[in-house]
Every structure is written in structure tokens, then in C-alpha cells.
Structure 1
Amino acid sequence: MATPNVQDVVELGERFEIAPGQRLAVHDSGLAEAYAAVDRIDSSRKVFALIGPGHLATRGLAIAPTRSAAGTYLLWPLASAIVDWPVGIEGGGEVLWGRRPAFIYSMPAGEKLSGPKGQIPQLAETQLIKNFIQPAIQLIRDLVLIGCPHRAIRPDNIYFQGGNSGDIMFGDCLASPPGSNQSAAFETVENAMSDPIGRGGGSIADDIYAIGVMGLMLYLGRDPVAGVSDEQIINAKINAGSFSTLAGGEKLAPSLAELFRGLLCDKVSDRWTIKQLEGWMTGAHFNPTLPSIPQRASRPLKFCGGEYLNKPALAHAMSRHWNEAIALLSSGDFDNWYKRGFGDEKAPDKMNRIHGLSAAYGPPAGMRDRAVSRFIIHMGGSLPLCYKEIRTSLVGLGAILSHNYERRERVQQVGELIHARLLHAWFEEQPNLRPEQMQLRRSLEVIDKVIDRQGPGFGIERVLYELDRGTPCKSSLISDYYVVDSADLLPAIDAAIPGAPAGTLPMDRHIAAFIATNMKRSMDTEMIPLANRADEINYRVGILRLLAIVQRVHQQYELPRLAAVVVEMLEPVIGAFHNSGMREHLKGEMAKHAKDCRFDEMLLLLDGEGSLRKADNEGFAAAVQEYAHLERGRAWLANGGLTDTTRIRGIAHKVAAMTSTLACSAGLAAYGLFAVLF
């Protein structure tokens, strides 16, 4: 995130000021950047700010306000909010302002645990227990109460309480995506295989694993896998187990060996919990935790320069070498290895089923890619979902989509894997699911229904916000304003309008999808008019209806710029009224409602089912009927209706008959009168 040199200060609440022009890179936390800050009330307190990335969800915005502090051993925000922030430079050299998530922290009193070159101090057993294990246990207790795993336990995010020795304090865990800055050494096999952004929120069990890694490194005084690539670390953990990979060949005291075996167990159901860790501290002993090693094949399979004796290791290699994996599945070597290497009589049926499902979901051109993905899922078990360039936990898929949204090929890959029902395939391979995974499984029902619908409010945009509800709206109109709550949507549009091109409508696919996802009721019906852009009247009234619904929910009426744009947007709608007097009346009413920013009142006037529209349509229909009648008369006259000879002859006959009748009647009357008188 490149921040321009800005001299102005940014306020967070009434107490803190942040200096965008003063970077403190030493305190960066993953993707979150650190800046100098000041406490207005207590100027002696040293504080700094972390500014989160503007394109990803930030879980800390929801979690930080729930507690004022989180124990002695965890750096916790003093304040947090979405603040005004410089996001770039405009063409004229002026600073372009937007909004970003911000967190204020007290400056740690001590130094970082790791040295400037990544050195790790060595602690004796007693020091390790007192200065690290005990604080770590308290950290886990606090995190359980908060309901939020840390997911950032690593040497450069741990501080001494004072100086460069003694008790420690764990650094920020809220401003950056969980696990996004962790090396493969500190992550379980499942998390390490995922792209860092796609690791998801994780669990306390992941933190306990990282505590085991950190404790082992402190006891050894070094990183035992320094200089080893992430891919090699993952392979070693799969084949030999995490404990052997990290502590293999090291001489450990029996009690510490028991501790680290329990904390570094790869099978999460066998990994120590906080209760076992607390028990170990009081002298309790537990049955030795055996490494969870995958079943070995009877013979190795050669692939991309390596030899593989188990399915998870091969699945990992296939995820890293996709094109070669496609060729591997077409070879007889893989068939023989899979069918004969593990003594599984049902192996041929499993392979046929995988190939059949790969062919059933999606176009023929992508069948081989889908087959590779399904074999990785099948062989890897709890390993991440892999498809072409994507490797992600299911919970992290929304973050992956958000992070790569400007890369069309990655977005297309996400769409392909959803269409191929690979998410469902992954779920089918899991013996147990965590709560967040179960919640995502329910979200799949919505995703399956909306991904193929073409109109605004649906499609891949809707999938983005359904996968991760905290994702900021990516509309080009308001993407700089970090809108993660529908309450901020209309104010952001109002603020963005001055910088938008003339004629910009306050709606696009992202805004529509964001509204559809974040409203408490279904908005599918309200999205229908937006699908037909050719029907300009209903399209514009449909936009007005969505704005009115959001406004009514949040009771926001200070939106003068947005109101002016809405009035301009609705000019064709008013122009479509037939009655000129009614059009003038509507213009006056719209001006009045624009002054009060009342979109609901505007909607009542212009709604297709409203009284004014009905009256206008009925009046127009009556006028059309009357006009048609007059037009028929005009045409009759124009066609010589008055001078037609046949018509004149008929009229003359009628007049002659009437004249004869009148003459006869007059004669008879005269005769009768004469007879009476004479």
C-alpha cells in the first residue's frame, strides 16, 4: 500500500492522531503498515497505528471493540475504527483521500524477540517455561474467551515486556489477514500448503501448534529449518511428521520432548489442548503422541524429479506442478501406483468415480484440470482446495477471490472450481468439520443459486461477498472508501460523487451484490429490474428502490450530492409521464424531496404501481381513445363523407319522404278544421 507524503494528521475518535507521513516500518504486521501516532489526552504514552489493507476483510474491526484489553501477554488495540486516509495522488498532484481500517497500539516497552537478522535467543528449560510457556498458556486462555485465534505467532511478532530479556508479549493479531505472514515452519501442513492470503481464520489448535514451533526454536536458539524452502518443509512434515522435521536429531530433555510432541502433533484431534498444556505445567504426564504418518505405497512413484510413497505428498506435489500432474494422470504409472500400491480393492471404483464426476460438471475442455483437483482432494484429505493456480482453505476462498479480483484469470479459476462442485467434493472427504466450515457449507446453497445468474446482484460479485461477509465493496465508485457495512454505503457514494465522471449512476454490479448480501432479507426480487438495462425507466426506478431500502434501514438523510445525482438520474423517468401538468408537478416534488434527501418519497411518486403513474396511464389511455374517435371523424370528412352521391341521394329521398308526409299531414289537418267550422 503506497501512501503519499502527507503532512496532515488523521483523527481516530477524539483521542488519537495518526501521521500518514511518518512510517514506522519496524512495527509493520503482515500486510498492515505502521505509522506514528499521538495520544492527545496522555502525551507521555507512546503509541503507534496499524493501517490495514484496503481490499481485504479485517476481522479486528468486529473483534477489537468487544474488549478494552486482553491480558498482560497480548498487544491489544487501544482504539480501532475506519478512518480517512490518503490512498493516492490525483493527476494534478493533489492527495486522493479514502478510508482504511486503523488500530492504535501502545508502543511495546521491550525489543522484538528476534534480532535484526532474524536471530533467535536460546532459553534454558526453566527460562523457557517461565518466560514463554506460561505467557503462552495465558494467551490461549485469553484467546478462548475472546473467541479469536491469534494466527500470527512468530519471532518477529513477539516482544519482550522490557529490554531484551524476561517475559514476552505477543504482537498484533487483528490488523492483517490471519496467517498471511506465517512461514511454513509455523503452520500446520494444511495451512502451509495454502496461499498465505487463503489460510482462513483457523483455530486455537493452530496457535497451539505455532507455540510448539516457537518454543522449540527458543530452546534450540535457532530456526532448525532456516534456509529450507517452504515446499521442502511441507514435504518433510507430510513424510516424517512435524516433530521429526523440526526436532529430528536434536537432544531434548524427556519432559520437553513430551511437550513438543504433543504441541506439534499433525493430527489435530490428537494435538494437545490448553487443558493438557496446563496439566503438563503441573507435572502431569500423558501417553506419548505418535506421529500421524500416511500409509506408504509398496513402491514409489516418480514425479517431477521426486519419488513419492504416500498420497498426501503426491497431492502436494501435483498442486505445485499442475501441467505435469495432468500428464501424470494420463500415464499408466499413476494407475498402477494408485490401484496396486495400497492394497485397496476399491481403488479402481474410486478412480472411475473421480473421472466420472470430473466429466459430469463443467465443459469438456476443463475435464483434465477438474480430474487433477479431485484427485488432490481425494488423496490429500484435509489438505487445501487446489485448482490450477489456486491453493486455499475453504474458509479462505473469499479472501483469495478478493485479493486477486483484479486478475481476471484468477477470478475465472474461482468460478470454474465452484461450477465444478469442487467445494462439495472437498466437504465429502472430511470426517469432521469446524464450525466455520459448517457455516460455509450452508453458504454454498446460496452460492450455487446465484453464480450463474447474469443480472446485477448475482454472479461472481455476489459470490465474493457471500464467501466473506466482511469484504469491502469493490465498486469502482467507492472502492477507496472501505465500505464493509451497509450503513456506510450511501455516505460513501455521496462522498465519491464529486470525483466521478458526469452522468455516473449510483449503482453497479458490485453495489447491487453488496446490498443483496448485507441486507437481512432477500433482495432478489428488487434486483430483477436491474437485469434489463434496455428498459431504462424500470432500470432507473429499480436503482431508486434499492437506495430507498438502504436509506430506510439506516435512516440517513444527509446525502445532498447523492440526492442531486438521483434527481438527474430520474429525469428520463419523469419525462416518460404523458401529462405535461403532471411532469411539472413531479419536478417540483422531486426538488422538494431532494432537499430533504428522501428517496422513499421519490419512489412513491415514481413507482410503476403508484397512484400517479396509474392516473397518468389511465388518462393517457382515455386520451388515446378519444383521439382515435376524432381521428376516425377527420378521416371520414377527408375521404368526402359529406359529398358522397350515394349518401346525398339517400338523404334526398329521406327529405322528400319527410316533406311529403308533412304536406299530407298539413292537408288533412286543414280539411278537418274546415269540416268542423263549416
Structure 2
Amino acid sequence: MLEEQELNMNIQDNNHEYSKYPIKKSNIIDVLKEEYLICCLEFIPELSNIFCKAYKVKRNNSDNTNLYALVYTKSLPLRLSVIDNLKHNPINNIISPIDYGIVKISETNMEQFVVILEKPSIISLDEYSKEHGPFSAEFITDIILIPICQILQVLHSFGIVHGNINPKNIYIDTDNKKIVLGDCVNGNTGFAQNIIYESLERAECNPMITKGDGAEHTDYFALGVTCLYLFFGHDFNVTESDDLVNQRFMYGSYKIYTRGRSIAMSIRPLIKGLVNDDLETRWQFQEIMDWYNRKQLSVVDNEDIDSNHNIMFNNNYYPNLRSLAYNMHQNWEKAKAFLKEEVLLKWLEMNSKSQQVVKLEKLLKPKIYGTGTGDKDEIIIKALCILDQYAPIRLQDCAVSLDALGVLIAYALSEKANSYVDNIRRIINMSIWNEFTELDYTEEKARELLMHLSRAKYAINKPGIGFGVERCLYELNPNLPCQSPLIAEEYITSVYELLLCIEKKAEQSSTFVIDRHIAAFLAANLGMDQRLNYKDYNKVSKRFLDHDAITILIMMAIAQEKYKIYKLSNLSAIVVEMLLPLLEMVGNYKRRQALHNNLNNQIPRGDFIKLLNIIIDTSYLELDRKEMELAEQQLASINEQIKELHDEKQCYVKGYKLGLKLCAVLSYLSCAITFIILIITKF
């Protein structure tokens, strides 16, 4: 028998639990920690997006009217570590969370994650610029640039990228010219950021939620464009458009934004250093401070021209590889035909692009280099990566940063966007990850990212409960609450909470089931692999393996033991109900009924380990198997006899042989009788 301590509790270390960020739940509707009243009727549209809705907040015993709450959408991941970090380590002159928690919101009748912030009573830099701009180089440098750099230096030291630096999210006190940086927790990094302020590798992401966490240079590019906006004032005149990203790829962001207009020599090196499309030479904190302290710095020319000879694709000429790669992505099918030709390789050779030539030849000429051909789309993805090493993963209508796959799958499932789900599945199944983790990720971040992707790849193609796209969702979003529609009103972030919640649901409804989301959440948070990390897995009869009921039973047993919740009688009843169809595999009626009774007797105890013991005890199955084998042998023998009787030819042969034998016997008998009569007559 399996004892409780025999359960293999060697569950993998994982980041799925909220142990680092304990989140308190409020007992009062629309009130956080009995202190902050969320005014659901006072919606703030300008601070809201698909990740969260903003509402005004009233605080007990306070006249502060600038407080507001961000109420987050349950179906999308949030920047929990950033929220927690900024709450406990507030940074001067940046809007940081005052408090956070889980509150039941009256508008949705659901528990949701809430963050309390305070909007500054001063005006935005955008408003100030419209009244007083354009500004001098000295004003931009001393009042705007250096204070924001100092804020960013502290923020980046915590490993946080702001992602939303622009004039509308920077505030200025008109009296003392003090600068306050707006919040960075109202969605994933850069979601609310206008593409004008995004570097090219982020501006092309599609959909916009797939920009990823970004890096420090992301903030400095946005700061450079902000300085340019302040310098030109009303004449900045750059608007978001479908062609803006393409123009920036073609001619460089600096050239497109300045449009040939002169910039004061005192600030030109700064702008060129920041509004720089080359990640490796873009200025950051140290270069800015060196320039500010009048140190001589060289500035790389931003005009991204790879050669004096443009390359032609789709009847258009492109001056550099990045613009070519971008437009190949926009014309996916034509890119396939283009790569079959040798025009690109010849152009690269002619322009001394030896590194790209070698990589592309290995990719496009597998017979020569002994490399696999792979999927055609995968070849294009790798080719575009070779041409533009900074770009996101491009696949048909998707352009997604590797670390944003989790956000994309959450968005796709919540919006039922199946095309995105298909693209995610293909990207995860392709062997392209390492090529996209070499540049923008630290070694630790790359290792963590590859671990989650490996687990997602393992799970996404398996159809059984606890796997599939739902499991992939939780592997790539470790802090996402359980998305099961059966517990939609609850905000469940741990296995412990989930067990208590579904036990209560099972008590309220006899028809409650454990769906794929609940199973996937359990499996991901317990770090379970295909064998469920259960050392006595092989004791389970092979006739029961790969059945959802067994998978759920083992998960429940491990979870119950780990979290010390020993009486889950209502859940036990549900699992036993799921196990009943398996009992039909037991041929002997009395034995099947006895097994059924044993399982039912354990329901009041709510002990999944005891239930598992009954299933693991295979003695009844072994006896049933032997009886079944004997019965099958007897049946086979009878069937063979019946078959022979129905075969006319064999019946004739057997009858003929039997007749001969009978004739022989009769002949011998006649001879014997004749012999006896002769003897009697003679004597």
C-alpha cells in the first residue's frame, strides 16, 4: 500500500506561487484594506486600457482627490514584481503604487487585482509645451533630461524598464520646474506608448501587446524623442501612421523626425546619440552624463545605409538590411520566392556582408552544409533574424518579442483569436529561441525564459487534461490567476486557494467538474511533467494510464499532501464519479462492485491518497486479468471448433477420414466375428 510519505514530493521549483508577493483579499466590496473606496461610477478613460480600468478613489479621513485605482483585467498578466518593488521601494519623483490587493468590484461582480496610485496635481509636459514651447537646449538639458536620467538610473538599478516615457506621462511643476515621471504599471511594458517614442524593434510589434519587457535603451530612445519634441515644439509634426515605421527603417528615425531641420549644435550630439536605431551605439546614462560634463564623445551617424547599392525586392529598392527584412515580413509569400533566388546572397557578397552570407548560405543551402531544410516559414523567420538581429520574431501577420509570448497567448485565449494561438503554437515548436535571446536579455533572464518556453513546448502539443494550450498559458504567465470560467468570480493565485475554492464549489453544485483550466493551473503550479513526478506511477495499471481521471487523482493527492488540506470530501465525490467509467474495465461484476464500494466508502474522508491506494492496488486487476485470459483461451478454442464446423471442405475431409476409420473398425469387427463363428462351428 502507498503511505502518505511515499508520495514523491520532489516538485520542481517554480515561480507560479505568489509567495514573494502575498496578496491580501478585501472582505468589503469596492474597498481595499478598509481604507480605499473605489468609486466605480467615476471612470477615468484617459488612464484606462485593455489591461486595466481607472477609477477615482476616496480615502478614509483624507481630502486627497488625486487618488485613483487601476482595476486590472483578470485575463491578462500584470507587472506584479514591478508593482511590489515600487510599493516597497518608492522612488522620488515617479508615481509609485501606494498599495495593492484583491477587491471584489461591484461593476463586474468579480474579484480583481487593484493598485492605488496618486496623480500629481501638476500639469503634464505635453500641456506645458503647448503653452510655452519650443524650449531652449539649456531648459531641455537641465530641467528635463538630467532629472529624468537620474530617475531612470534608480529605476533601472531595480531591473525595471519604464516603457512609457513621453510628454503626456511626464509632469512638471510650473513654479519650481520640478519633474515627476508618470506610472509604469498600467499594462505590460510600453503598451500605452505611442510608436513615435518606441525604438524600431518595438514599434513594429503586432499586436502592440507583444513588445515584451524591453531594455534600458528602450527608455533612453523615448527620452531622446521627447527632447526632440520639446526642442521643435509645434513644429515637431510627426504623427503615427501606417508608413511611419517603414520610413524609419528606410532612412533612420533621426532623419525622419528632424526632416532636415537644423538642431542647435549644443544639443545635436545628444539627440543623435539617443534617437539612434542601432542598439549597440545608442546613448544611455553614462554617455549622457559624460556629454553633460563636456566630455568629448563620438556620435555614430544614424543614417542606416548598408551600401551604395540598394537591393530590390517586390519592385522596390531598399537601402539597408533592416528595411528589407521589415518589408519581407510585410510581404510574406513573396519573401518565400525571393529567398529561393540568389539575389540576396550575391548582394551581401558584393557589399562585404560576410557574416550574414555564411549564416544565410547555411540556412538556404542545406545540401551543401548538411543542415536540415525545416519548415518554410521557419526558414523565413531565421532569415529575417539574420538580416535584422534586433527584430522580434516575425511570422506572417505577427511580430512578437520572445518574452511577450505569454501576454499574446493570454490575449488570444481571452479574445478567442485562434489565428494568434496557431502562430504561438508554431513559434514554440520551432527551434529558434536561442537566436532571439542573445542580444536583449541578461544571462539570467534568458535562462529563465528558455526554461518556461521548454516547458511550454513540452505541454502545448499534449491533448490530455493538464496539458495543451491551457497549460502553456500558465507556464508562460506564472503569476496569472486561474482562468476557469467555473470560478470566474474568484481571483485564485495559488494551489492552496484553488483547492479550498473548488471544494466549496463542489459542495454547492453536484454537477461541478474539474475543467482543463483548473487541471492546467494545478499541473503548472505543481511543476508536474508527463509522469506527474509521482514515483509510484508505474504501479497504476496500464489499463488506467492516460485517462483524465487518473491524472486528476494523482494531482489532487500530491496537492493535498503538499498543502496539508486533508478533508476534501466534495472534491473526492467528483473524482470518484470520474473514476467510475474506468471500473467497467474490470470484467468480474462482483469484483467491480466491491471496488466501487471501496471508492465510495472513502468519499466522506476526502482523502485522495486513500483513493489512490485503492487504484494502485492491482491485485483485483491481476486476478481479473488471469480469469479474462482463461476465458479468452476457452472462447478462442470454441470459436476454432465452430469455424471448422462451418468449413464444408474440412467437414468432407474429416467425414471421409472418419468413414475410412469406421470401415476399418467394422472390417476388423467382421473378421473377428467370423473368426469366432468358425472356431465355435469347428469345435
TM-score range, shorter chain: 0.7 to 0.9
CA distance in structure 2 between the partners assigned to 1:109 and 1:265 by the alignment: 34
Partner of 2:198: 187
Query: 2:503–2:568: 8 Å Cα contact kept in structure 1?
Result: yes
CA distance in structure 1 between the partners assigned to 2:157 and 2:354 by the alignment: 48
Q: Aligned-pair distance for 1:380?
A: 0.9
Choose which of 585, 603, 606 in structure 2 pairs with 1:590: 603
Q: Aligned-pair distance for 1:388?
A: 0.8
Choose which of 389, 401, 416 in structure 2 pairs with 1:393: 401
Partner of 1:214: 226
CA distance in structure 2 between the partners assigned to 1:253 and 1:355 by the alignment: 48
CA distance in structure 2 between the partners assigned to 1:464 and 1:388 by the alignment: 22
Query: 1:56–1:471: 8 Å Cα contact kept in structure 2?
Result: yes
Q: Secondary structure at the match of 2:180?
A: strand
Letter aligned with residue 322 of structure 1: W
Q: Secondary structure at the match of 1:503?
A: coil
Letter aligned with residue 60 of structure 2: R
Query: Is the alpha carbon distance of 1:256 and 1:349 closer, same or farther for their aligned partners in structure 2, counting shifts above 3 Å?
Result: closer
Q: Aligned-pair distance for 1:31?
A: 3.4
Query: Is the alpha carbon distance of 1:347 and 1:275 closer, same or farther for their aligned partners in structure 2, counting shifts above 3 Å?
Result: closer
Query: Is the alpha carbon distance of 1:483 and 1:322 closer, same or farther for their aligned partners in structure 2, counting shifts above 3 Å?
Result: farther
CA distance in structure 2 between the partners assigned to 1:33 and 1:431 by the alignment: 31
Partner of 1:53: 73
CA distance in structure 2 between the partners assigned to 1:180 and 1:523 by the alignment: 36
Letter aligned with residue 258 of structure 1: P
Q: Aligned-pair distance for 1:515?
A: 2.8
Query: 1:472–1:479: 8 Å Cα contact kept in structure 2?
Result: no
Partner of 1:661: none
Partner of 2:681: none
Letter aligned with residue 335 of structure 2: A
Query: 2:44–2:54: 8 Å Cα contact kept in structure 1?
Result: yes
Letter aligned with residue 286 of structure 1: Q
Partner of 1:314: 324
Q: Aligned-pair distance for 1:316?
A: 0.7
CA distance in structure 1 between the partners assigned to 2:329 and 2:408 by the alignment: 16
Q: Aligned-pair distance for 1:361?
A: 6.7
The runs of 5 or more residues in structure 2 that have no matched partner are 1-27, 632-683
Q: Aligned-pair distance for 1:535?
A: 4.3
Q: Secondary structure at the match of 1:35?
A: strand
Letter aligned with residue 229 of structure 1: S
1:396-411 equivalences in 2 (<5 Å): 396-405=404-413, 406-411=416-421
Q: Secondary structure at the match of 2:126?
A: coil
204-213 vs 533-542, greater mean Cα deviation:
533-542
Indicate whether 1:80 and 2:100 are aligned: yes
Partner of 1:224: 236
Q: Secondary structure at the match of 2:260?
A: coil
Partner of 1:672: none
Letter aligned with residue 228 of structure 2: L
CA distance in structure 2 between the partners assigned to 1:109 and 1:517 by the alignment: 44
Partner of 2:21: none
Q: Secondary structure at the match of 1:314?
A: helix
Partner of 1:544: 553
Query: Is the alpha carbon distance of 1:494 and 1:166 closer, same or farther for their aligned partners in structure 2, counting shifts above 3 Å?
Result: farther
RCO comparison, higher one (Cα < 8 Å, 6+): 2
Q: Aligned-pair distance for 1:617?
A: 6.2
CA distance in structure 2 between the partners assigned to 1:146 and 1:77 by the alignment: 15
CA distance in structure 1 between the partners assigned to 2:306 and 2:48 by the alignment: 43
Q: Aligned-pair distance for 1:583?
A: 5.7
Query: 1:113–1:120: 8 Å Cα contact kept in structure 2?
Result: no
CA distance in structure 2 between the partners assigned to 1:495 and 1:162 by the alignment: 56
Query: 2:45–2:54: 8 Å Cα contact kept in structure 1?
Result: yes
Query: Is the alpha carbon distance of 1:306 and 1:522 closer, same or farther for their aligned partners in structure 2, counting shifts above 3 Å?
Result: same
Indicate whether 1:417 and 2:427 are aligned: yes
CA distance in structure 1 between the partners assigned to 2:373 and 2:469 by the alignment: 16
1:612-631 equivalences in 2 (<5 Å): 613=617
Query: Is the alpha carbon distance of 1:119 and 1:389 closer, same or farther for their aligned partners in structure 2, counting shifts above 3 Å?
Result: farther
CA distance in structure 2 between the partners assigned to 1:134 and 1:264 by the alignment: 16
1:171-182 equivalences in 2 (<5 Å): 171-182=182-193
Q: Aligned-pair distance for 1:339?
A: 5.1
Choose which of 124, 128, 144 in structure 2 pairs with 1:112: 124
Q: Aligned-pair distance for 1:318?
A: 1.4
39-48 vs 185-194, greater mean Cα deviation:
39-48
CA distance in structure 2 between the partners assigned to 1:118 and 1:551 by the alignment: 61
Choose which of 608, 621, 626 in structure 2 pairs with 1:602: 608
CA RMSD of aligned residues (A): 4.2
Letter aligned with residue 468 of structure 1: N
Partner of 2:153: 141
Letter aligned with residue 34 of structure 1: A
Letter aligned with residue 553 of structure 1: K
Letter aligned with residue 472 of structure 2: V
Query: Is the alpha carbon distance of 1:615 and 1:301 closer, same or farther for their aligned partners in structure 2, counting shifts above 3 Å?
Result: closer
Query: Is the alpha carbon distance of 1:620 and 1:326 closer, same or farther for their aligned partners in structure 2, counting shifts above 3 Å?
Result: closer
Partner of 2:310: 300
CA distance in structure 1 between the partners assigned to 2:390 and 2:236 by the alignment: 26
Letter aligned with residue 182 of structure 1: Q
1:362-381 equivalences in 2 (<5 Å): 367=376, 369-381=377-389
Partner of 2:642: none
Choose which of 162, 171, 180 in structure 2 pairs with 1:159: 171
Residue identity over aligned pairs, in percent, reads: 22
**TM-score when normalising by structure 2:** 0.74
Q: Aligned-pair distance for 1:108?
A: 2.1
Q: Aligned-pair distance for 1:411?
A: 1.2
Query: 1:186–1:210: 8 Å Cα contact kept in structure 2?
Result: yes
Query: Is the alpha carbon distance of 1:30 and 1:135 closer, same or farther for their aligned partners in structure 2, counting shifts above 3 Å?
Result: farther
Partner of 1:516: 523
Query: 2:523–2:555: 8 Å Cα contact kept in structure 1?
Result: no
Partner of 1:651: none
Q: Aligned-pair distance for 1:407?
A: 1.7
Letter aligned with residue 189 of structure 1: L
Q: Aligned-pair distance for 1:36?
A: 2.0
Partner of 2:143: 131
CA distance in structure 1 between the partners assigned to 2:286 and 2:45 by the alignment: 38
Query: Is the alpha carbon distance of 1:602 and 1:426 closer, same or farther for their aligned partners in structure 2, counting shifts above 3 Å?
Result: closer
Q: Aligned-pair distance for 1:206?
A: 1.3
Report Cα offsets for 1:563-608 as digits up to 9, x if no partner.
66456556667998838678657545422x24xxxxxx23224434
CA distance in structure 1 between the partners assigned to 2:387 and 2:453 by the alignment: 23
Letter aligned with residue 477 of structure 1: L
Q: Secondary structure at the match of 1:578?
A: helix
The runs of 5 or more residues in structure 1 that have no matched partner are 1-7, 89-96, 595-600, 628-678
Query: 1:30–1:180: 8 Å Cα contact kept in structure 2?
Result: no
CA distance in structure 2 between the partners assigned to 1:348 and 1:22 by the alignment: 59
Partner of 1:468: 477
CA distance in structure 2 between the partners assigned to 1:443 and 1:536 by the alignment: 27
Report Cα offsets for 1:404-458 as digits up to 9, x if no partner.
2322222112222333323344457x59866423432344444454444443333
